[in-house]
Structure 1
Amino acid sequence: MHNRRNFLKLSAGAAIGGMAAALPSTSLAKECQAIKWDESHDVIIVGSGFAGLSAALNTKRQGIKSVLVLEKMQVIGGNSAINGGWLAIPKNPIQLAQGIEDDSPEELVKDQIISGRGMQNETALRQIANRALDAYELCIGTGVKFRDGFNIQVGGHNKARAIRTQHGSGGDITTKLYEAGVREGVEYRLQHYIEDFIMDGQEIVGVKVRKNYRFPDITTGSTIYIRANKAVILANGGFARNMKLREMVDPSLDPTLDCTNALGATGEVTLTAMAHGALPVHMNLIQTGHWGSPDEGGFGWSNALLSIGWHQGAAISVLNGKRFMDERADRKTCSEAIMKNRYPDNSPAYPVVLFNYEKYKDDDRVVRALRDKMAWKLDSLDEIASKFNIPAAELKRSINEYNGHVNARKDPLFNRKMDTAEVLTGPFVVSRIWPKVHYCMGGLKTDLAARVIDGRSMSPIKKLYAIGEVTGGIHGEARLSSTSCLECLAMGIVVSETIKSDAQA
């Protein structure tokens, strides 16, 4: 629909593709002709991953009439659709059925405080953890299926609380949330790229959008203006695919590292928010996933395969045939240990992870990995040594020592928890590992209710909200596995409550 003309100013976000947009300064503002609104909606949500889909559905359920989701790519789901489908839920039904009754939201927060290394927002983490069962019920209520009886302890967690979707993919969740949104009246549009925010002082009133955009060509499509009556929610994810921005905020990050993210994870909307005054935090904290494989591109299957390898197997350096880390530590600890494995010319000396084949030969994670040739079935330690040029005698000594630690249920070398470790006898499943850039801990600063903070006034930008990976300062220096999905789903609930409350104020 067309609304009356509104005489407003377009600001620096119009230069969204340039790095100048990273500088939140009103001095970049420039005037534009009068804006004629092409249409109007109560709530506009930018991004269609876990956070955006949760926010859309829950906002609709709060009684908001018109909810519009804008996705710049050609498919719904973003990074969420290709992630591993892990969800950390204290007190989940599978956990309780396993007899684990001493877990709680507070136990999860304790683990996150350790991984955050003093830079986490403890209050925000506690809020998310306390909404974990709400996030789980949201999934169940929309038809998401989780693996029967599957609840394990993943890296950095002190309890088994990680459940996984039926097909081991976040797409199991994004599909169901999307379908529920369609049924309940949410409108979704693909190939809609946010060119700029339309501001009235310290209030967002709409967005300038390029519809029919074809990534990555910014000249495609045509411009429309959409008014937001009650809220704009940013759920556009991180910027791990933006190599120029990555290099600027963290020059120490190895630029040769592969990335698990979808190609659209480039962060332009984040930069636009910053150009309009939104306060950025922790932008230099970019996490690598220690389960990456150099033998496949992108996210791949290695994450799934190593959910066996980290628990039942061992990681070995090809340089000396020795173990070199606690395989069940958090992502940052493991990634740093893995990347120390280098040849004299500083090129990667990809370590290997091995576990027994027979027990897992019919497991879909193993079947897929062997099929796709990112793992190998090898019958003996001599075969492993020969294939990967590992000192055979030292490899045998290390595995013999490891087996002793398994039997003793104690790891004096790295203090790994050995409750799931198995004696390695062969034949073996063997894969190579090398971290991949995975998650941005930095982003826009928000209050606990998801309101975006203006760095000039240190108060919320009216009607502008952000949830999920686009936000920063929550996890601190490292994020624990299986907590991103939880955060996105839970904050989608929180932001819907905030918008209803703010609209009534």
Structure 2
Amino acid sequence: MSSRRSFLKLSASVAAGGLTAMPAFAACNDTTSWDEEVDVIVIGSGFAGLSAAYNAHKNGLGKVLVLEKMQVIGGNSAINGGWFAVPKNPIQLAQGIHDDSPAELVKDQIISGRGMANVEALTQIAEHALDAYHQCIDTGVEFREGFNIQVGGHNKARAIRTKHGVGGDITTKLYEAGVKMGIEYRLQNYVEQFVMDGQEIQGLVVRHGYRFPDQKTGSLRRIKARKGVVLASGGFTRNMELRAAVDPSLDPTLDGTNHKGATGEVMLEAMAHGALPVHLNMIQTGHWGSPDEGGFGWSNALLSIGWHQGISVSVLSGKRYMDERADRLTCSTAIMKNRYQDGSPAYPIVFFNHAPYAKDERVTRALRDKMAWKVDSLEGIAKQFNLPLAELKNTVARYNKHVEARQDPDFGRKMDTAEVLTGPFVVSRIWPKVHYCMGGLKTDLDGRVVDGRTMKPIRKMYAAGEVTGGVHGHARLSSTSCLECLVNGIIVGKTLVADA
């Protein structure tokens, strides 16, 4: 077991920082000697970890310790777009939308999952959506007034958004609430090993004072968790070696939206102790990525206009090539078919009318950072992006007729928000980015990690968020990550109480 664990940790470490060696350490199964003891340890400080810690403390579980290996709180959650799917949210109801429900959301997710979604898990998450929303409100999170829209793959407008359009609006408030409650948060604490007693986790060996990605930094501490350890460490999209191993078909040149520390070593350590991995090859790309900015960027926000009020056109043909409002997997697949003869990307463009959004921060920010451009005419678009002008004009003329008819016979797009394109335009280029791992550790509905050797829970080991797998199937819908992570934190908080 020790050699297997060391190999897995080496794989993650090499991918994370280009290291050539790992510091030697012995297998840690000594459950009698500890440097300190707490009641609950939460690994990771994103939506799931912060929610789990908040609920564990709120439910009276004693001393709660959150460990974060990076130098800041929040993980990927802090840099995401702040979208949050909530059926029957107050803004939705104020808009007069009364026919939505948790079941309607699950129906959309089942379609997106393409036969691989966990319906029971999705149902439980959807039914707790309002609980997660009110948890945000109770901790001081602000959402955009009157903002609730229909995003890709959803059949209803149910996506609200944080005030500043970033997940940090939520992670900051959950962290501040936790500090007031007495939860302890420690940055730069890397989990070296789990300390196990058979099928029960006892605690952790932690590298305190770790400086990513140097495995030689910091000092080792043994921390006992009397009531449980919650794995909320996120996905592994930045572990390039592991990513290539589980999905060789994924274009290795694709940029990613995740922070550099999303390398999955906590998941691998759990697997070394028997935790069952599921759907690891289902790695999602975000179809709203821009080749003109690094990381998550602003393109996601800009295209919340582009997908709804504009169109996407191939630079090769000057034609539309997809339903711009389809789910992520459908759109990403269609986008990445746009390639030159040598296989290099032929970045498609998305454009919409500038005038109605001239003062919108999504537009002003994108133009400022030069990941989008204001172009006066179709002739200007054709010249700047090397498109066939005649075909582009035909495409826009045809599209405008579809807008007026409120029907899209070409791709079946829902046209309720589409606008007749007249110019001047806001134009941006798109190319998918690796975004989210649908695969991870198998848990039961209460968040207990399942041992693949016995198909029973590993005692006192729980997981929430992107480190888990088998929930969404082949594709996760936009705005459901925040929902899942926050809800699973609530669920794990209840499970810890029940098990304790």
TM-score interval (norm. to shorter): over 0.9
Maintained 8 Å contact 1:12/1:276: no
**2:186 equivalent in structure 1:** 189
Match of 1:67 in 2: 64
Is the CA contact 1:292–1:303 (under 8 Å) kept in the aligned structure 2?
Answer: yes
Match of 1:484 in 2: 481
CA positional deviation for 1:16: 5.0
2:367–2:373 Cα contact (<8 Å) kept: yes
Indicate whether 1:210 and 2:207 are aligned: yes
Q: Where does structure 1 differ by over 4 angstroms across 4 or more consecutive aligned residues?
A: 9-12, 29-35
1:327 to 324, 329, 340: 324
Q: In the alignment, what sits opposite 2:263? A: 266
Separation in structure 2 between the aligned mates of residue 73 and residue 128 of structure 1, nearest angstrom:
28
Query: How far is 1:17 from its partner?
Result: 2.7
1:339 aligns with 2:336: yes
Which residue of the other structure, out of 251, 256, 259, is the alignment partner of 2:253? 256
Report deviation, 1:13. 3.6
CA distance in 2, matches of 1:124, 1:104: 16
Q: 1:132: which partner in 2? A: 129
| Deviations 1:239-288 (CA, angstroms, capped at 9, x unpaired) | 00000000000000000000000111000000000001000000000000
Tell me which of 70, 81, 85 is aligned to 2:82: 85
Q: In the alignment, is residue 285 of structure 1 matched against residue 282 of structure 2?
A: yes
Q: Given residue 17 of structure 1, which amino acid in structure 2 is its aligned partner?
A: K
- Does the C-alpha gap of structure 1 residues 125 and 215 become closer, same or farther in structure 2, counting only changes over 3 Å? same
- Distance in structure 2 (CA, Å) of the matches to 1:19 and 1:262: 18
| Match for residue 221 of structure 2 among 220, 224, 227 | 224
**Paired residue secondary structure (2:100):** coil
Given candidates 387, 392, 411, the residue that maps to 1:390 is 387
Q: What TM-score results when the alignment is normalised by the length of structure 2?
A: 0.96
Deviation at 1:36, TM superposition (A): 2.5
Secondary structure of 1:398's match?
Answer: helix
TM-superposition CA deviations, 1:370-409 (whole Å, max 9, x none) = 0000000000000000000000000000000000000000
CA distance in 2, matches of 1:299, 1:160: 24
2:9 to 7, 13, 17: 17
SS at 1:448 equivalent: coil
Could you tell me whether the CA contact under 8 Å between 2:237 and 2:243 is conserved in 1?
A: yes
Number of residue pairs aligned between Structure 1 and Structure 2: 489
Alignment of 1:64-463 (within 5 A): 64-463=61-460
Secondary structure at the counterpart of residue 217 of structure 2 = coil
Note the alpha carbon deviations across 1:147-169, whole angstroms, 9 max, x for none.
Answer: 00000000000000000000000
For the residues of structure 1 that align with 2:12 and 2:427, how far apart are their CA atoms? 46
Structure 2 regions of 5+ residues with no counterpart? 14-24
For 1:36, what is the secondary structure of its paired residue? Answer: coil
Structure 1 counterpart of 2:190, which letter? Y
CA–CA distance in structure 2, aligned partners of residues 10 and 417 of structure 1? 54
Counterpart of 1:401, as a letter, is R
TM-score (norm 1): 0.95
Per-residue CA deviations over 1:97-128 (Å, capped at 9, x if unaligned) read 00000000000000000000000000000000
How far does the alpha carbon of each residue in 1:1-35 deviate from its partner, in whole angstroms, 9 at most, with x for none? xxxxxxxx9785455532399xxxxxxx9755856
Separation in 2, partners of 1:328, 1:455: 38
Instruction: Give a deviation string over 1:60-98, Cα, whole Å, max 9, x none.
Output: 010011000000000000000000000000000000000
Quote the Cα distance in structure 1 between the aligned partners of 2:28 and 2:100: 56
Alignment of 1:33-72 (within 5 A): 34=30, 36-72=33-69
Amino acid at match of 1:18: L
Alpha-carbon contact 2:113-2:472 (below 8 Å) kept: yes
Question: Identity of counterpart residues, as a percentage?
Answer: 73
